[in-house]
Amino acid sequence: MGQRHLEAEAAPSIDCAARRLEVEPAAAVARAAFDHAGELATLAYDRTAAVLGAVRLAARRTDAGEPDRAEIAAAFDVDPERVVAADELLASHLGSPADADATRSLRRALLVAREVLTAVERDRNAGPELPGSRLADAAPVLLARARWHLDPSTDYEHPGLEPAALRAHVERLEADLAFARLGPRLYALVHEDDGETDEN
């Protein structure tokens, strides 16, 4: 009992681990993952490995960039294999994210929507210059409407290309991308915990 208490005191918090591994944007996702299945990972591998496993999983499912085993070993006195095992245990309780193709498609559509929004907000005379680009295939209807909306030779303004509507579309795509990258269960846990500040 005393050793487990000392181990819990010695284990880094989610925020500390994310900071030391330079993946701070992943901290909220890591907290949600740990809150969901961290106790099981702690029992199987110890608290430090469970915390680092949650941070590693969160970094992989966000844009933070997954720390490799050498980085983990250099930053913490822990066997990186235990961290990987804790990560895998947490992942098994959180479900899978969307496949890479679906995520890539959403990311491309989001890039195009952001470009169109920027063009509309700047009141430019032409939409984004993407001919021949793989991005042009990501949202062809939006690009066609943007070029039409922004073309001074037409009087018609498509209501879907008002800045407010485009911002709402960008926000929906951002949420869809986050949902795809995190997976349904982890996405729900993160948004259920929005606003909480407890540190693990």
Please state which of the ranges 30-34, 82-86, 98-102, 145-149 shows the lowest mean pLDDT. Answer: 145-149
Provide the pLDDT confidence category of residue 23 given band limits of 50, 70 and 90: very high
Q: What is the pLDDT of residue 80?
A: 95
Q: What is the pLDDT of residue 198?
A: 43
For residues 180 and 193, what is the distance between their CA atoms, to the nearest angstrom? 18
Q: What is the pLDDT of residue 121?
A: 78
The string of pLDDT tens digits covering residues 49-85 is 999 999 999 999 998 999 999 999 999 989 999 999 9
Q: What is the mean pLDDT of residues 117-134?
A: 60
Q: What is the pLDDT of residue 155?
A: 53
Provide the pLDDT confidence category of residue 192 given band limits of 50, 70 and 90: confident
Phi, psi of 127 (to 5 degrees): -75, -175
Please state which of the ranges 23-37, 41-55, 152-166, 182-196 shows the lowest mean pLDDT. Answer: 152-166
19 or 3, higher pLDDT: 19
Exposed e or buried b per residue across 49-77, where buried means at least 16 C-beta atoms within 10 angstroms of its C-beta = bbbbbbbbbbbbbbebebbeeebbeebbe
Residue 61, classed as helix, strand or coil, is coil
Q: What is the pLDDT of residue 112?
A: 84
Q: Does the structure show a pLDDT above 50 at 126? A: no
- C-alpha atoms less than 13 angstroms from C-alpha of 98 in its C-beta half-sphere: 17
Q: What is the pLDDT of residue 1?
A: 42
The string of pLDDT tens digits covering residues 158-188 is 555 678 888 998 999 999 999 999 999 999 9
Q: What is the pLDDT of residue 52?
A: 97
